[in-house]
Structure 1
Amino acid sequence: MATPTQKMLSSVDNAHLLKADKAHYMHGYHMFDEHAEQGALNIVAGDGAYIYDTQGNRFLDAVGGMWCTNIGLGREEMALAIADQVRQLAYSNPFSDMSNNVAIQLCEKLASLAPGDLDHVFLTTGGSTAVDTAYRLIQYYQNCRGKPEKKHVIARFNAYHGSTTLTMSIGNKAADRVPEFDYANDKIHHVSNPNPYRAPDGMDEPQFLEFLIKEFEDKILSIGADKVAGFFAEPIMGSGGVIIPPKGYLKRMWEVCQRYDILFVADEVVTSFGRLGKFFASYEVFDVQPDIITTAKGLTSAYLPLGACIFSDRIWKVIAEPGKGRCFTHGFTYSGHPVCCTAALKNIEIIEREHLLEHVDVVGAYLEQRLATLSDLPLVGDVRCQKFMACVEFVADKRTKALFADEINIGEMIHSRAQARGLLVRPIMHLNVMSPPLILSCAQVDEIVETLRVCILEVAGELEQNGLYFGQ
């Protein structure tokens, strides 16, 4: 008897869909020439850590969708919970004097999971809108404090904080800074990427740490401490290449923020909900008590779109001061959406019931160990992995760390060969990035590493044969 997936595949008109996709669907990060020529990989089904295309090919999704399919795909109890909520209440106005039970319950749950006094939650539609909300909240807070000049924020080069105009400007990821877009530069500043592998020549990690802290403090003083309002930081930088900072870096940066009355915004859109083995990584992994946490992705494991900006009593007491008659004129039609909130509550229930945080501790350690074995391969300059966030960086010269020319697109060369073998990793220029579902098994870890090994060796041989690599 045919499975539901097989029945679905039998009814798919591949040629028509490919043509329609090219004609009508503008994707995120749309590569115009490449898409016009090749089209896209059309996914029609998912089960656990695997996804299926229209040809029936199965792929181990080591990307986890977009850092987000934490509990895995195809869970029946998620479908039932979502369907039940649709039947009971499909939508409720989230503005001003209206609420709904599941949004309230979710905010209460998030406040209980977040560290310290982060007891207040503004629900959004995803990670970009959560970070956008954090920025606006900072501006609102400073105005309420009577500090209208304290509006500048600092982030890091090659970070990623979202894809709205504002959040893309805060992130300043090099590959995203295309000349056809404009970016907000007023009151947004950047300091160095805390990547130990790319530290200035001659600096060991402790020296690099001191350089980063001094640079940050110098930047604050050059702007004026009375003008700097916030610092935005991913605990581990995700799309910028899984940058694991020097030991003690985040705590030291937080201490500088405390010294100069600067709000610390932990962008945990990727690192929260289990990717590093904790619901939130800032305090439990990095010993930092942020003023604001932004989250999304693993909040619902991507079953439905939802994000949150979680902030402290310190901020709340200022902006909600009694008798001021203030209104926080910011909101989204679909924030606090009851169906999305139901998905989040069920997702958190599954993470807790199935002890997925503990699972990540065990399997994440194994992933770190196994990926490290790729370090001796040609092309591999650096392997970075902490729990379920991983990256392999490829270089043309292991001694100098020189990169291949952009047009070689080394990350895509290896990814395309992995895809042909049933493995998806995310190519970002000279990187392959991974963020697998938290349900990944040790056997699937072996599959990822062994497939990558074969693909890296194959590409190295091809490049060497064409005179583009000399086996340094």
Structure 2
Amino acid sequence: MGDSHKKDIAHALHPYTNLAVHEDQGPLIISKGEGVYVWDDQGNRYLEGLGGLWCVSLGFSEPRLAAAAADQFAALPYSHTFAHRSTEPVIALADKLLEIAPKPMTKAFFLSSGSEAIDAMIRFTWYFNNGRGLPEKKKIISRKRGYHGVTVAGGSLTAIPLMQNDFDLPLDRMIHTDTAGYYRYGRTGESEEEFATRLADNLEQLILSEGPETVAAFVAEPVMGAGGVMTPPATYFKKVQAVLKKYDVLMVADEVICGFGRTGNMWGCQTYDIQPDMVTCAKQLSSGYLPISALMISDKIYDVLKEQSKKHGALGMGYTYGGHPVSCAVALETLKIYEERNIVERVRELAPRFQERLSALSKSSLVGEARGVGLIGALELVADKNTREQYPAELKIGATLAARALNHGLVVRALPGDVIGICPPLIITIGQIDELFDSLTIAVAETEALVKKAA
């Protein structure tokens, strides 16, 4: 074990890591990246099949983003947006982002992470309803297995047990409804349309049981990411939004993973016909090169925030690094590249091959469902394809498969429920898609053989 590995074990505290195991095995140290590939400190090359953490859309060596950062560092390395101050990168980015934003977004509030954007959304929701004279309307509904960050408030909306157990979460005011995953949660003989209707009906009953006067917002990822890459039934969001409108409940789209072309449209909202009141975005906003996120709001929200800030003397909410000029400059250049290279059309051209290779893996006895849209996908691993029975969690079948993939030069992510998440950079080529799935096919076959041998 090298010196860097020993220092990491001694001093670095890693998120989403079994700390006891880490003391024994240490880190995989990533040393450099180029295109869709990264290299570890031993010189081994990996195709990054998750784009880092769902974020590195333009690959690991885009020179224009490095140049944008260097130029802005030289011109103005830091300023803020408190108390009427602004910078040219903030102004230009807000203008460009809202030009392509889902309608009817009209204002952008910049932060440093998707978690912060969700936290700001929660605070704005409460501020909004207090300003409307609705002080009881504060509860926010998310979906089981939904991921909405790791702050105390956002982590309460993230309805994944690992993120809440022994953290004393969720907080009051945060409630959860059904997961829109037909394969895992559809009933025997139930069509996808019937499944969507049942979930919308259950949402309505939840609102009624809580009291419509207490429910403020519903937040959802167009496609669930960390919860298992769950793609919703075609009519799901239409049915859900009808319920929300009926009870004056805000629709919040969490586009942190789906935003900027991932699903074959600029926004997941467009793929699934969502008309949001607020939108969060991050990750691919800067291709992951620097920390930045945005909360976008409609005039419906802004008009009340404006009156509230007038009442109190200022909008009492903001972050030191929100609207950081270097992050904004890199994000602006990222959006320019998306436009110049027609990234959405590129995803549409690549998606059929990606989804074809993904679907082919469903032939394995290990794979219950292969699902996805655009350039995001997942394999759900099961013990019995007929009953959809899952493996005991302690067997860690998903983690075993991900480790096998790594041995074959491919990074994928094992998600809760033995789901393998795949989300490569959007610059991936047809040949690299085949390389990705060739390696994944071998990993699936090896894991299948291990399972059969152990049976």
- What TM-score bracket applies, with the shorter chain setting the length? over 0.9
- In 2: Cα distance, 1:65 partner to 1:365 partner: 23
Q: How does 1:161-176 map to 2 (within 5 A)?
A: 161-176=148-163
Report if aligned partners of 1:320, 1:326 keep a CA contact under 8 Å in 2.
Answer: no
SS in 2 for 1:46: strand
Map of 2:422 onto structure 1: 434
Write the letter of the residue equivalent to 1:324: K
- Give the one of 258, 268, 273 matched to 1:271: 258
Q: Is the 8 A contact 1:49 1:437 kept in 2?
A: yes
Distance 1:320 1:405 in 2: 52
Aligned to 1:51: 38
The CA distance in 1 between the partners of 2:241 and 2:178, in whole Å, is 16
Change (3 A) 1:323 1:459: closer
1:92-141 superposed Cα distances (whole Å, 9 cap, x missing partner): 02212211111011111111111222111110111000011001000000
1:190 to 176, 201, 211: 176
Amino acid at match of 1:194: A
> Counterpart in 2 of 1:133?
120
Greater alpha carbon shift after TM alignment, 62-71 vs 102-111: 102-111
Q: Is the 8 A contact 1:413 1:459 kept in 2?
A: yes
Distance in 2 between residues matched to 1:232 and 1:211, nearest whole Å:
18
Deviates more, 1:309-318 or 1:326-335: 326-335
Q: Please identify, of 400-409 and 305-314, the stretch whose mean Cα deviation from structure 2 is larger.
A: 400-409
Contact 2:181 2:232 in 1 (8 A): yes
Does residue 1:289 correspond to 2:275, yes or no?
yes
3-state DSSP of counterpart to 1:229 = strand
Instruction: State whether structure 2 residue 341 is matched by structure 1 residue 354.
Output: yes
Corresponding position of 1:4: none
* Residue aligning to 1:250: 237
Listed as ranges, the matches of 1:51-90 within 5 Å are: 51-90=38-77
Q: Are 1:142 and 2:142 an aligned pair?
A: no
Instruction: Tell me the distance in 1 between the aligned counterparts of 2:326 and 2:316.
Output: 24
Which position in structure 2 is the counterpart of 1:151? Answer: 138
For the residues of structure 1 that align with 2:226 and 2:440, how far apart are their CA atoms? 19
One-letter identity of the residue aligned with 2:376: M
1:334 and 1:387 map into 2 onto residues whose CA distance is 32
* Residues in 2 aligned to 1:71 and 1:229: alpha-carbon distance in whole angstroms: 37
Task: Tell me the residue number matched to 1:210.
Answer: 197
User: How far is the alpha carbon of 1:326 from its aligned partner?
Assistant: 4.2
3-state SS in 2 of match to 1:150: coil
Residue 175 of structure 2 aligns with an amino acid whose one-letter code is H
* 1:451 alignment counterpart: 439
* Number of matched pairs: 452
The TM-score, its normalising length taken from structure 2, stands at: 0.97
Does residue 302 (structure 1) correspond to residue 288 (structure 2)? The answer is: yes
Deviation of residue 184 (structure 1)?
3.4
Q: Deviations over 1:367-387 (max 9, x none)?
A: 111110111112100101101
- Other structure's SS at 1:226 match: helix
- Aligned-residue Cα RMSD (Å) equals 1.3
Amino acid in the other structure paired with 1:386: V
User: Which letter maps to 2:430?
Assistant: C
Q: CA deviation at 1:280?
A: 1.9
Q: Please report how far the alpha carbon of residue 288 of structure 1 lies from its aligned counterpart in structure 2 after TM superposition.
A: 1.5
Tell me if the contact between 2:164 and 2:170 (Cα under 8 Å) persists in the aligned partners: no
Q: After the TM superposition, which parts of structure 1 deviate over 6 Å for at least 4 consecutive aligned residues?
A: none
Partner of 2:451: 463
Q: Is the 8 A contact 1:378 1:456 kept in 2?
A: no
Contact 1:378/1:457 (<8 A) preserved: no
- SS of the counterpart of 2:300? helix
Q: Which amino acid aligns with 1:442?
A: I
Equivalent AA in structure 1 for residue 349 of structure 2: V
SS in 2 for 1:320: helix
- Percent of aligned pairs sharing the same letter: 38
Shift of 1:278: 2.4
CA displacement at 1:319 relative to structure 2: 1.8
- The 2-side partners of 1:464 and 1:278 are apart by 41
Which residue matches 1:470? none
Letter in 2 for 1:457: A
Alignment-derived partner of residue 248 in structure 2 = 261
1:39 maps to 2:26: yes
**Deviation, structure 1 residue 15:** 0.4
| Structure 2 residue 107 is the aligned partner of structure 1 residue 116 | no
1:239 aligns with 2:223: no
Q: Say if 1:325 and 1:459 are closer, same or farther in 2 by CA, change over 3 A.
A: closer
Structure 2 match to 1:11: none
Say whether the 8 Å CA contact 1:94–1:334 is kept in structure 2.
Answer: no
- Residue type at the aligned position of 1:182: D
**d(CA) in 2 for partners of 1:411 and 1:122?**
38
Aligned to 1:391: 378
